[in-house]
Amino acid sequence: MKALRSLAFVTNADKSGAPELARELIALAKAAGLATQQTARRAIPRGWLKGYDACCVIGGDGTLLGVAHEAARAQVPIIGINRGSLGFLTTFSAEEARTQFTSLLRGQFKIAHRSLLSCTTGKNHHDIALNDVLIKDPFNSRLARLEVYANDQLVTEYTCDGLIFSTPTGSTAYNLSAGGPLIMPDAGVIAMTPICPHTLSNRSIIFRDDVRLRVRSRNVDSTLLVAMDGQRNLISCADSPIEITISPLKLPLAQSLDYEHFAVVRTKLHWSGGFVEKK
């Protein structure tokens, strides 16, 4: 990567230590001669990143998700610094950010291009998601009856609390909590995981990334809630299908040069299980 000439900062002021870290890093960026701008808004407006070489997000994964769709549209890499809990997306710790920040400003990082889901409701409302698209009844106490089609072929019908459509990036989020599979980030797939289905055969389905998925409600005169990354909601009527595909856009995500995906997964999920033979 080329050395950065400008850097935008998005800070979650509710996260402990985030404002202080932001002030420290902004001072370093200015001292290096970079043009900067900053905001504490959770959802940045369209066009806010135009002309910037990168965006430094200081907070948790939720903070980064709030920036992701605009960064993807502008093709501005995100440097995620974790001040939240797990931090699968915000891969730099605060200490790593402090020690590596000068190198990052010199462009010493690699870019991972993460796939996004494109979702359109029957009313032609459209949005993109980095992690997942959740489809459910708007009332938490009611079951959803959902038909799923892949390229116009019926897959199956679910009676369940909802369906999660996940990118490989989002496989460690809601998909994982619902019993879905972990997926390598660069795999060209979409995962569909039912939430509490009324069946003994609860299994995720993995689709190729060139599939066109369509979901319909079987409940008469009902509406469906469509949640994008758990942050932005669309509504679909019962007679209007929901279509999900892979977006032509990809999110550029900055990573350290020695980043290893499964090393992060092992650390974040506290994987263990090494066999120790008794003497």
Q: What is the pLDDT of residue 37?
A: 98
Domains with residue ranges and CATH for the chain:
6-109+256-268 (3.40.50.10330), 116-249 (2.60.200.30)
The token duo for 181 is 């599979």
Q: What is the pLDDT of residue 123?
A: 73
Q: How many CA atoms lie within 13 A of 176 on its CB side?
A: 15
Q: What is the pLDDT of residues 156-207, one digit of tens each?
A: 999 999 999 999 999 999 999 999 999 999 999 999 999 999 987 778 999 9
Which of 35, 97, 129, 52 shows the shortest CA–CA distance to 255?
97
Q: Name the band, by pLDDT with cuts 50, 70 and 90, for residue 86.
A: confident
pLDDT of 274 > 70? The answer is no
Report the C-alpha gap between 198 and 171 in whole angstroms. Answer: 22
User: pTM, whole model, 2 decimals?
Assistant: 0.92
Q: What is the pLDDT of residue 126?
A: 92
Q: What is the pLDDT of residues 214-264, one digit of tens each?
A: 999 988 778 899 999 999 998 887 678 899 999 999 999 999 999 999 998
3-state SS assignment for residue 220:
coil
| Percentage above 70 pLDDT, the chain | 97
Asked whether the CA dihedral 63, 114, 182, 273 is positive or negative, the reply is: negative
Average pLDDT over residues 53-64: 96
Report the C-alpha gap between 52 and 35 in whole angstroms. Answer: 9
Q: Name the band, by pLDDT with cuts 50, 70 and 90, for residue 273.
A: low
Can you name the residues that pair with 134 across neighbouring β-strands? Answer: 164, 227
Active site residues: 61
pLDDT of 278 > 80? The answer is no
Q: What is the pLDDT of residue 275?
A: 57
Q: What is the pLDDT of residue 202?
A: 78
Amino acid at 205: I
